[in-house]
Amino acid sequence: MNQNIKVAAEVWIAAALLQHENPHQEDFSVAEIVDRVAGESIASEFRPGVPIHVSQHCVANKRPNPNNYRMLYETGRGRRRLFRPGDEHHPFRKNGKVLPDPVEIPKEYQYLLEWYEQVYCGQAGVYKEESPPEMKTTCPNAPEEYTSNTEKGQWFQRKAAEILSAHYGVEFLLGHAIPIGDPAKEHRFDLVSVDKRYVGECKNYRWTESGKVPSAKISCINEALLYLSFLHGIDRLVVMPRSLHPSRKESLAQYYCRTYQHLLKNVQVIEIEAETATVIGLGQEGKQHQSEEAASRRERSTMPNIEAVWARIQEHEGEEFHQIRGKAFHYGMFGGYIVPSTVNQQIAKSDFEKALQRVPLRNTVPVQDLRGPSYIYAILMDKRIHRNDW
């Protein structure tokens, strides 16, 4: 525990850990950074000043009130990443600190300073350059003869109906009316299959040219979800073009699923690549490949329970494991806790039990609400522990 560490330094460490462990994720929510501060427990206790430092005091492109740190950068509403030299900042923060003083950072986190200067600050274009080939295709714009947004939207609606008809093996009607609400009133849904199994709304929305979120249009997607919420016993769809962010490998549909997953419930978000007639399903939590998720759910009942997994973890106590970025550690076990060798932290068996419901893990993001997410990931996703069971 370091009772004298400044809140700003704690915030920087938490944000740096998230960026370091998830190099292909451009930004994180305020809540994820706050939760990581709580999870690392660098100070003697979680301090009430942490949330305001993440949302305001450390943010370079916000007006200082009163702190003028430049440790974080706001990429969108409620989203943050580490500040990079060259990022825009509020003029009143011109001389604000970008990094904590090295003496403030505990020795187990000192490697983050070198990583920040040598790796992170040179990554301005890494997300675009390292995107795999399949991520580079986006849904093309409507033909040039369509000039108004209404015409472009109608073109995308027809294209979506054509592609989904081939994908699901059933014809889709355009603008078909279905009664909803009480008292019932007809609403024309953009796409309705002739067998009434699938009903969808089309939203021909894309990132802005500068990579900003089209906020006004996002509210229209939320409205579409409201209409779809009145329907039951059918597959409900929101259909969008595949539009990739200009500097990171995240589509607008993926961003929406990640940010508004609490509104989706059982609505399926579908991305369309019109040029290749490809359908990409995004689940409630923004995960691709719905068929893989269904298979995973079917297999869940045969997965080992926490007692079996905990026994495997005990079996490999003291052996070397590696975090997502390669840092080695080992762990000891004391009762119902694991204690990693590289941090003064106890991770409860109950946290592993919660994480077991979320495997397989692609990175540490799905377990950020748990204590020691990078260690949970490293242990559960090690082949000695998963043994191909997830």
- Cβ pair 309, 338 in contact under 8 A: no
Residue 275, in any domain of the structure: yes
Specify if 159 maps to a domain. Answer: yes
Report DSSP letters for 38-59, one per residue.
Answer: HHH--SSS--TTHHHIIIIITB
What are the two backbone dihedrals, phi and then psi, of residue 224, each rounded to the nearest 5 degrees?
-60, -40
One domain, residues 377 and 326: yes
Q: Are 64 and 93 in contact (CB under 8 A)?
A: yes
257 and 336 in a single domain? The answer is no
d(CA 121, CA 374): 22
Q: How confident is the model at residue 277, as a pLDDT?
A: 66
What is the domain-level CATH number for residue 194?
Answer: 3.40.1350
Instruction: Kindly state the DSSP code that residue 164 receives in the 8-state scheme.
Output: H
Look at residue 32 and tell me if it is in a domain: yes
Q: Is residue 62 part of a domain?
A: yes
Exposed/middle/buried for 114, CB within 10 Å: 0-12, 13-18, 19+? exposed
Domain that holds residue 54: 7-124
Does 207 fall in a domain? yes
From start to end of 58-160, where are the E strands?
A: 72-76, 79-82
Does one domain contain both 140 and 100?
no
204 and 92 in a common domain: no
Domain match, 81 and 102 both: yes
Handedness of CA 251, 217, 225, 153 (dihedral sign): negative
Is the same domain home to 258 and 190? yes
Does residue 279 share a domain with residue 149?
A: yes
Q: Which two tokens stand for residue 368?
A: 């950020």
Any domain includes 129: no
Cα gap 243→130, rounded to integer Å: 17
Q: Are residues 74 and 216 in the same domain?
A: no
Mean pLDDT per 10-residue section of the chain, whose length is 390 residues:
83 93 88 90 86 93 87 91 89 89 88 86 44 38 66 87 83 91 90 91 88 83 91 90 82 86 85 75 47 45 84 92 87 86 84 90 79 90 90
Q: Is 149 exposed, middle or buried (0-12, 13-18, 19+ CB in 10 A)?
A: exposed
Pair (276, 373) in one structural domain: no
* Residue 146: predicted pLDDT: 61
Pair (103, 217) in one structural domain: no
List the beta strands (DSSP E) in 109-266.
172-180, 185-193, 198-202, 235-241
287 and 146, same domain (yes or no): yes
Last residue of a domain, one of 93, 124, 155: 124
Q: Tokens for 336, please give them.
A: 């119902």
- Which of 286, 280, 378, 362 minimizes the C-alpha distance to 329? 378
Last residue of a domain, one of 124, 148, 176: 124
DSSP 8-state assignment for residue 359: P
Query: Are 338 and 370 a contacting pair, CB within 8 Å?
Result: no
In a domain, 213, yes or no: yes
In a domain, residue 1? The reply is no
- Looking at 295, 322, 339, which one is the last position of a domain? 295
Cβ atoms of 306 and 290 closer than 8 Å: no
Split into its structural domains, the chain has a count of: 3
Query: Do residue 212 and residue 75 come from a single domain?
Result: no
